Structure 1
Amino acid sequence: MADRRLYRGSSAEERRAQRREQFIEAAIRVYGEQGYRHATVKAVCEAAGLTERYFYESFSHSEELLVASFQAVKDFLFGELEKAVAGTSGDAIGRTRTMLQTYYEVLKGNPQSARVFLVEISGVSPAVDRALIAALEAFGELITRTLTPREGGGAADEPLLRAGVVGGVLHIALSWILSGYSRPIHEVVNAALRLCLVLNPGAVKPGRGSGV
């Protein structure tokens, strides 16, 4: 009986999961090139090489696909940041610099994903906004963990200040992208690092400066 549920070595569940991933990858490309508001389900289906019947197998509507695409971009980006921080020794400032360097490099290297993460997700609907807010909070927590693991003396427990720092880091990225990456990446990282240090000015040792 199990053999009847297999097709070319894959189960029905595996094929559905594969089609869902195809739609998400296609949506990131289409949203990155056309913008979510100008994209159609038909365009995403064509980019995925699948029919609309399969689209509605995985998603109730286009907003659901937008959220799934955003989550995929977020998971990839945060995974890269976590790996970068884990592979870095040194103090809080050095770790935070590495994280920010990786953040901006990933966005520059993946312009379609960057547009989904920074532009297309905003202001679509309350449900989509909730996904964005959750991601920004997670980003703020990652910055806080990186910058204030043990040093103390910071303002990382102030949620509004942390939200402001995260918003600033994202706005720096957006301004850099819209300028055509006109500034060297080290200047972009330095600007973001100075902003992040608001959360933990105690990380700067007396007489050392922030190194930025």
Structure 2
Amino acid sequence: MSTTDRPGLDQRRLQRRTRLLEVGVDLLGAAGGPAVSVRAACRAAGVTERYFYESFDDRDAYIRAVYAEVGERARAALVSAVAGAETPTEIAELAVRAFVALVLDHPEAGRVLLLAPLREPALGGRGLELAPSFVVLVQDQLNDVADPDERALRALGLVGALTSLFIGYLDGTVTVPRETLIRHCLGLLDRASRP
């Protein structure tokens, strides 16, 4: 193989990996629970198992990669949503709306992020690994709370409460309209940010 063929090969490999991650979100975030197997992923992505194994060591590595991808999307969506916002109120509303859009408009991604760590053994404690980055994002908005320990506790509690709300929405136990959910989340943020 010549060196000029390498970029095309690398591009195709990246495209196959990206496609496998995309279908992984649908499989891991299936409404009835995770339905992930190497065969199902390959069938959905339209690739052979050979191409699966060029990107992932095994099923568990694949599931962890799908989860990491969705976690990064969520973090990036929140950071992007609040870029340019100036007031804490504006930041909170934009962040809540971005997360609601991620979870409600793409329920498969929401289920990957919030339910898969509870249902999929391959993820073990992965949900706990992502939580600190979301806690820091919330903590940064609680500027009116002077005591750093209190700010950290409130941020952690708030992330836990919001996570439970969104899990309830995804599993059907919370059935309020979208705007009601947003207003409730904003109310929680507002109360947590008071000195």
TM-score (normalizing by structure 1): 0.79
Amino acid at match of 1:39: V
Is the 2:78–2:99 contact (alpha carbons within 8 Å) kept by the matching residues of 1? Answer: yes
* Equivalent residue, structure 1, for 2:85: 88
Q: Give the Cα–Cα distance (whole angstroms) in 2 for the partners of residues 78 and 101 of structure 1.
A: 13
Name the SS for the 1:50 alignment partner. coil
User: What is the aligned partner in structure 1 of residue 183 from structure 2?
Assistant: 190
The equivalent residue for 1:2 is 3
Distance apart, 1:198 and its partner CA: 5.7
Q: Equivalents in 1 of 2:176, 2:84: separation in Å?
A: 27
Aligned match of 2:49? 52
Q: Distance in 1 between matches of 2:114 and 2:152?
A: 25
Name the % identity.
23
Distance in 2 between residues matched to 1:66 and 1:30, nearest whole Å = 10
Q: Which moved more, 1:166-175 or 1:41-50?
A: 166-175
Alignment pair present for 1:139 and 2:141:
no
* Native 8 Å contact 1:97 1:193 kept in 2: yes
Deviation at 1:67, TM superposition (A): 1.2
CA distance in 1, matches of 2:152, 2:133: 14
Which segments of 5 or more consecutive residues in structure 1 lack a partner in the other structure? 203-212
How many angstroms apart in 1 are the aligned matches of 2:60 and 2:151? 33
Per the TM alignment, residue 95 of structure 1 is displaced from its structure 2 partner at its CA by: 1.4
Equivalenced residue count is 191
Unpaired segments of 5 or more residues in structure 2? none
The 8 Å contact of residues 20 and 58 in structure 1, kept in 2 or not, is answered as yes
AA matched with 1:94:
E
Using the size of structure 2 for normalisation, the TM-score is: 0.85
8 Å contact kept, 2:114–2:127: no
Larger Rg computed on CA atoms: 1
Match of 1:102 in 2: 98
